[in-house]
Structure 1
């Protein structure tokens, strides 16, 4: 599903902007359990099946989650 969201933002020429848009979408609209699962998948596999900016977006979410857990 995350890669499908990435396909929506594929027309964005700036990959950093696309990644941030994907991150925001997942953060705003995905159920916390879904976010937890995609972050867990990323942490276990380094996001091996996530495409380009989607991997970056999930990496950012994982980093944010880890930072909040330490605070």
Structure 2
């Protein structure tokens, strides 16, 4: 999974929602979009990138925007995919 591409996509989603007048609603919008439209392994990779280097540029110089970072941290529980059941 290309983490730099995921970060870039998340930042573009953040750019759209950041223009909303209500900051909390905008953060929720970012998280909701990622939860609804990204498959679980994409969300896991994005959250892992957040954990691995919370303030460092990626290999290609792409860094999560502060706005997207705030959305991921605030809504992490809803973004974390459920563990696969082994029934």
Do residues 23 (structure 1) and 31 (structure 2) align? Answer: yes
Pick the structure with more helix per residue: 1
Q: Highest CA radius of gyration, 1 or 2? A: 2
RMSD: 2.0
Instruction: Give the 3 Å change call, closer, same or farther, for CA 38–44 of structure 1 in structure 2.
Output: same
In the other structure, the counterpart of 1:56 is 70
State how far apart, in whole Å, the 1-side matches of 2:29 and 2:46 are.
16
Q: Size of the alignment, in residue pairs? A: 66
What's the TM-score, normalizing by structure 1? 0.76
**What are structure 1's unaligned runs of at least 5 residues?**
none
- The unaligned stretches of length 5 or more in structure 2 are 1-8, 57-62
Ranges of 4+ aligned residues in structure 1 off by more than 4 Å: none
Corresponding residue number in structure 2 for 1:35: 43
Report the TM-score when normalising by structure 2: 0.64
